[in-house]
Chain A
Amino acid sequence: MTDTLIQGRTGPWEIVLGLEVHAQVASRAKLFSGAAVGFGAGPNAQVSTVDAGFPGMLPVLNRFCVEQAVKTGLGLNAQIHRTSRFDRKNYFYPDLPQGYQISQLYHPIVGEGALEVERDDGSTFTVGIERLHLEQDAGKSIHDMDPHSTYVDLNRSGTALMEIVSRPDMRSAEDAAAYVRTLRTLLRALGTCDGDMEKGNLRADVNVSVRRPGEGLGTRCEIKNVNSFRFIMQAIEYEARRQVEILEDGGKITQETRLFDPGRGETRSMRSKEEAHDYRYFPDPDLLPLVLEEAWIEEIRASLPELPAARRRRFAEQYGLTAYDAGVLTAEDERAAYFERAAGGRNAKLVANWTVNDLLGRLSAEDRGIAESPIPPETLGELVGLIEEGTISSKIAKTVFEKLWAGEGSAREVVEREGLVQVSDTGALEAAVDKLIAANPDKAEAVKSKPQAIGWFVGQVMKETGGKANPAVVNALLRARLGID
């Protein structure tokens, strides 16, 4: 991928990227308490005395969260550790009520794995997964409610996160975004995380460094909490250029944590967090080693749905789809299910075209998901069926699609009600053709020496029949009558 190199003043530079993705587990309750997880509740309305770090309060691990971590690990083809442990990461911050975050440093629940990532052009690359561990989220500090104080809402405090750490295997902002997109698709397919980046349920810390091609790894900077694909790419591009400039000016990169400012499109040093960190990790004495029974792991394995990568491959092979269409259609479970219902017994490539271009295009323009499609999959399939059997033309189908979108019935009902059935009856069309030739003898003469002018005749017949004529039949008739080969 030489085209991803940055051209500096002094030569090319390679970007090296590793990501730590924080995915919120789609659980009802928190990782170690019985308080609810959710979005939009009033301040501190989803907080137990455990989450607020009250004296004598103790954590008890949520079984469902463990299961989701294992499931995700299996989806990443990763090693599931039969024994894992929880550690405390100690630091002071007002939205960290216990004064420590319970995490898994030394013995994570999931070890090494790999994720195959597909680019838009259909080429693929593999990102190594270093580990996945469970940890608590912190609360939220709000700085703009009062000029002299910070307001703290602990609703998020204690929510279960899966931190998925990749190897530094990516070399471009696009690849990093593709990795996050693929990972998000996987999490959603597994149902372990809803992937909602706007709500912060999926966010990434991006480790960026640059080096001369072929050289060892450079010093990296970590950009914290980037929560959209666009920001991930912007942050990487800005940060890589910043590092190249420093290095080309003879400077050195300082390893540090940086923040992406979406407003300015730049990263800046988090000065308040620069003070030497010493997290003093040690095993949490309130918790015991987490030991997973082999049978439970196997039960979870057996419950795994078809994963996006496998489904993408199957769609391409079974339905003959392009890599792009297969990727789009497998990006979400609901999409894939929609497509498969619509494509049953039809021309799958045609169904894919209609789904990707017409339906998804229209939905996305209206900011709706496929679950909210006004056209059920069976109806879209029916529409394609009508095209396939020659009942309507593709052009008429567009009109029918609009009426289906408006909820005016099934495809066949619309076509019949509106009289949109394509006229392929040779007798009826012959009459129209003869009439047209008789009315335009000079044009008929001219077309014999200039066959491409036949289009005018076709257009006239279509007009005459209100677009319902089968253009292929019209074409053949005209050619026969006008004596063109």
Chain B
Amino acid sequence: MTELTALTLTDAVEGLRTKRFSAEEITRAHLEAMEGARTLNAFTVETPDRALEMARASDARIARGEGGPLEGAPLGVKDLFSTEGVETTAGSRILQGFKPPYESTVTANLWRDGAVMLGKLNMDEFAMGSSNETSAWGPVANPWRSRGSNASLTPGGSSGGSASAVAADLCLGATASDTGGSIRQPAAFTGTVGIKPTYGRCSRWGMVAFASSLDQAGPITRSVSDAALMLRSMSGHDPKDSTSLPVETPDFTQFVGRDVRGLRVGVPREYRVDGMPAEIEQLWEQGVAWLRDAGCEIVEVSLPHTRYALPAYYIVAPAEASSNLARYDGMRFGYRAGGGTLTEVYENTRAEGFGDEVKRRILIGTYVLSAGFYDAYYLRALKVRRRIADDFDRAWETCDALLTPSTPTAAFALGDKDADPVTMYLNDVFTVPANLAGLPGISVPAGLDANGLPLGLQLVGRALDEGTLFSLAGALEQAAAFRAKPERWWS
């Protein structure tokens, strides 16, 4: 049965279509794997009954010669996506027991295309975190461990459950979301592929909001082709989301394996940050060499405002979050605490329902929007955001995509970066600029560090040009030939 869970999504879909195995078989294999991997704490809710029901329906469609592009493929769903009748908490106690009466557009698209839901995946609370430690349901463990160590490592965040489950072969792919790097950083930490598409490519309808102008859904998978396949199903214009782009979804899978000769790849000099480990630096140079060998033209570019992306992000995201999370007040759904007066009930509900990081960001967001500070903080951050986006626009005059490391380090130990929030925030230094500018970014596993932990390279492209990213990511994947798998210590 392990064979079935080790397949790529692309191969599994092909095996299902050609009836080499049934959807029920591959679903059962995954349900078993999930059961054996509970110590990873990747799933918050397992939905075996629904999974088997969906799998049997897929088998019936396949038998009739019907079936969508993901027919019968068992997937995991980040708990940020509303799933009708299935508890959706976004990793927060304040949403404990909440069962949405609706299905998010992204997951509905996956089910439309035949995918099977295995369950909901753990995450940082409201997607605020880079280590999965802010989840109300406990941290997720990375299937990867440092060579010769039993210490539990973070799978990254906020889509830590998604990355861990995909890396541990608990699902063929998983939905994830990325506000400042929450797809790409965990993908890099777990040796998986993660793409954050152009802002507006995937509908945000039914996805619990963190920072509306930055949040974007995307897949975490085990190959670039898988990412292309899954993103194609997740994408599409949604009239229910005003920020959803009214554009056609290309067949992203067609771009993987395309010739990349002549593509110009920019290397932004400002991404050489202080204190970056030599291994990361070397990996980056290796990535440049691989793409050069594949026929790309390498150009050095400058993104002078990129160093301001993180501080700008830490104003914009908390500001939006402080308002987005106001609806969690204990009045209509979710957790309600006790209290003598209405104000006490509000304050206790939110004090007890939210974790420390979420509260910290709400306070910062509230502060930067409050009277007297709006111009100095929020408005200034939006102007810096424009500067950052303008930098990218200038870069596109001389290159077609950018190559950078995905993260400044490999996976770190759980509890390692608790002390200082800013140290934790620095994890997102390479990923945040693409969110601010709304650009697509993909992380591809590129090698292992000295401890045997995976490292990723990131490609950032023009808006709506995921195609070029998939071609370049395919070239990197081929050159890197990353085959390593974590040791199966959890079962």
Among A92, A94, A285, the most chain B Cβ lie within 10 Å of the Cβ of A285
Please, which residues of chain B bring their CB within 8 A of the CB of A98?
Answer: 326-327
Q: How many angstroms between the C-alpha atoms of A307 and B371 in the bound complex?
A: 41
Q: Tell which of A60, A90, A99, A285 touches B369, judged by Cβ atoms closer than 8 Å.
A: A90
With A and B bound together, what is the CA distance between A278 and B104 in angstroms? 33
In the bound complex, how far is the Cα of B333 from the Cα of A56, in angstroms? 13
Query: Can you list, as one digit per residue, whether each of A29-47 has a CB less than 8 Å from chain B (1) or not (0)?
Result: 0000000000000000000
Residues of B within 8 A of A52 (CB): 332
Can you list 30 contacts pairing A with B, beta carbon distance less than 8 Å? A49-B101, A54-B332, A54-B333, A55-B88, A55-B98, A55-B100, A56-B206, A56-B207, A57-B206, A59-B242, A60-B242, A61-B242, A90-B369, A92-B346, A94-B329, A94-B342, A98-B326, A98-B327, A99-B325, A100-B323, A100-B326, A281-B369, A282-B374, A282-B378, A285-B211, A285-B243, A286-B209, A286-B242, A287-B242, A288-B242
CA distance A88 to B329 in the complex (A): 17
A376 at the interface (CB under 8 A from B): no
Complex contact A97–B332 (CB within 8 A): yes
> In whole angstroms, what is the CA distance A55 to B374 when docked?
26
Q: A282-B369, A285-B211, A286-B212 are in contact. Are A99 and B374 (CB under 8 A)?
A: no
- Structural contact, B331 and A54, CB atoms closer than 8 A: no
Q: Does A417 contact B (CB under 8 A)?
A: no
* B327: chain A residues within 8 A (beta carbon): 53-55, 97-99
B95 surroundings in chain A (CB, below 8 A):
55
Decide: B243 and A282 in contact? CB cutoff 8 A. Answer: no
Q: Which residues 402-444 of B have a CB within 8 angstroms of A?
A: none
Residue contact A88 to B323, C-beta cutoff 8 Å: yes
In chain A, what residue has the closest Cβ to B333? Answer: A54
B220-244 with Cβ < 8 A to chain A: 239-243
B472 within 8 A of A: no
For chain B, the count of residues having a C-beta within 8 Å of the partner chain is 43
| Bound-complex Cα distance A60 to B213 (A) | 15
Q: Does A58 contact B (CB under 8 A)?
A: yes
**A55 with B90, Cβ < 8 A, contacts A49-B101, A60-B240, A286-B243 known:** yes
Any B CB within 8 A of the CB of A273: no
Asked whether A152 is an interface residue with its Cβ less than 8 Å from the other chain, the reply is yes
Q: Which of B101, B240, B329 contacts A92 (CB 8 A)?
A: B329
- Known: A282-B369, A286-B212. Is A56-B104 also a contact (CB below 8 A)? yes
By a CB distance below 8 angstroms, the chain A residues around B371 are: 278, 280
Cross-chain contact of B241 among A58, A92, A94, A278 (Cβ < 8 A): A58
Interface membership of B366, Cβ < 8 A: yes
Question: Given A56-B208, A285-B212, A94 and B242 touching (CB < 8 A)?
Answer: no
Mark A78-114 against chain B: 1 for CB-CB distance below 8 A, else 0: 0000000000101010100111100000000000000
Interface centre among A49, A54, A59, A97 (most CB of B within 10 A): A54
Q: A55-B208, A56-B208, A97-B327 are in contact. Are A278 and B370 (CB under 8 A)?
A: yes
The 5 closest A-B pairs by CB, nearest first: A99-B326, A285-B212, A280-B369, A285-B213, A53-B327
The minimal Cβ–Cβ distance linking A97 to chain B, given in whole angstroms, is 6
- Contacting A at CB under 8 A, from B35-83, are 81-82
18 additional A-B residue pairs with CB within 8 Å, beyond A92-B329, A281-B374, A286-B212: A54-B100, A54-B332, A54-B333, A55-B88, A56-B81, A58-B204, A58-B241, A90-B326, A97-B327, A97-B331, A97-B332, A280-B323, A280-B366, A282-B374, A285-B211, A285-B213, A285-B320, A286-B209
Closest B residue to A286 by CB, please name it.
B212
Query: Would you give the shortest CB distance from B138 to chain A, in whole angstroms?
Result: 21
Question: In the complex, which of the residues B90, B319, B320 has the most CB atoms of chain A within 10 Å of its own CB atom?
Answer: B320
* Chain B residues, Cβ within 8 Å of A61: 242
Does B205 interact with chain A (Cβ within 8 Å)? yes
- List, in ascending order, chain A residues with CB within 8 A of B205's CB: 56-58
CB-CB contacts of B133-165 with A at 8 A, as 1s and 0s? Answer: 000000000000000000000000000000000
Contacts of B333 in A (CB 8 A): 54-55
Query: B204 to A56, Cβ gap below 8 A?
Result: yes
Also in contact, A288 and B332, with CB within 8 A (given A56-B206, A90-B323, A92-B346): no
**Taking each of B98, B323, B333, which has the highest tally of chain A beta carbons within 10 Å of its own beta carbon?**
B323
* Residues in chain B near residue A88, CB distance under 8 A: 323
Residue B102 lies at the interface, judged by CB distance under 8 Å to chain A: yes
What is the minimal beta-carbon distance from A87 to any residue of chain B, in angstroms? 10
B contact residues around A55 at 8 Å (CB):
82, 88, 90, 95, 98, 100, 208-209, 327, 333
Interface residues of B in 68-126 (CB under 8 A from A): 81-82, 88, 90, 95, 98, 100-102, 104
Interface residues of B (CB under 8 A from A): 81-82, 88, 90, 95, 98, 100-102, 104, 204-209, 211-213, 239-243, 319-320, 322-323, 325-327, 329, 331-333, 342, 346, 366, 369-371, 374, 378
Q: For residue B88, which residues in chain A have a CB less than 8 angstroms away from its CB? A: 55
- Separation in Å of the A249 CB from the closest CB of chain B? 32
A100: chain B residues at CB < 8 Å are 323, 326
Q: Nearest Cβ in chain B — how far from A205, in angstroms?
A: 21
- Closest A residue to B205 by beta carbon equals A58
Q: Which residues of B have CB within 8 Å of A288? A: 242-243
What residues on B are CB-neighbors of A278 within 8 Å?
370-371
Chain A residues whose C-beta falls within 8 Å of the C-beta of B320 in the assembled complex: 282, 285
Alpha-carbon distance between A64 and B269 when the two chains are bound, in angstroms: 51
Query: In whole angstroms, what is the CA distance A389 to B239 when docked?
Result: 66
Q: Give chain B nearest CB distance to A268 CB in angstroms.
A: 20
Q: A49-B101, A55-B209, A90-B369 are in contact. Are A152 and B240 (CB under 8 A)?
A: no
- Given A55-B327, A56-B209, A92-B329, A49-B241 contact (CB < 8 Å): no
Residues of B within 8 A of A286 (CB): 209, 212, 242-243
- Pick from A59, A99, A287: contact of B329, CB below 8 A: A99
Residue interface bits A289-315, CB-to-B below 8 A is 1, else 0: 000000000000000000000000000
Q: Which residues on A sit within 8 Å (CB–CB) of B240? A: 58, 60
Name A282's contact: one of B319, B326, B332, B346 (CB within 8 Å).
Answer: B319
Minimum C-beta distance from B375 to chain A (A): 11
Whose C-beta in chain B lies nearest to the C-beta of A100?
B323
Give the residue name and chain of the A residue nearest to B347 (CB): A92
Does B331 contact A94, Cβ atoms closer than 8 Å? yes
Question: Bound complex: CA of A287 vs CA of B240, how far in Å?
Answer: 11
| Interchain nearest-CB distance for B312 vs A (Å) | 14
In the complex, what's the smallest C-beta–C-beta distance from A154 to chain B, in angstroms?
8
- CB A48 to nearest CB in B, in angstroms, measures 10
**Complex Cα distance A270/B377, Å?**
32
Binary per-residue interface labels of chain A (2-20) against chain B in the complex, 1 for a CB within 8 Å, 0 otherwise: 0000000000000000000
Query: Please, which residues of chain B bring their CB within 8 A of the CB of A94?
Result: 329, 331, 342
| A94: nearest chain-B partner, CB-CB | B331
Which A-chain residue is minimally distant from B81 (CB atoms)?
Answer: A56
The winner among A56, A60, A281 for most chain B CB atoms within 10 A is A56
Docked complex Cα distance between A92 and B212 (Å): 20
Cα distance, A90 to B213, chains bound together (Å): 17
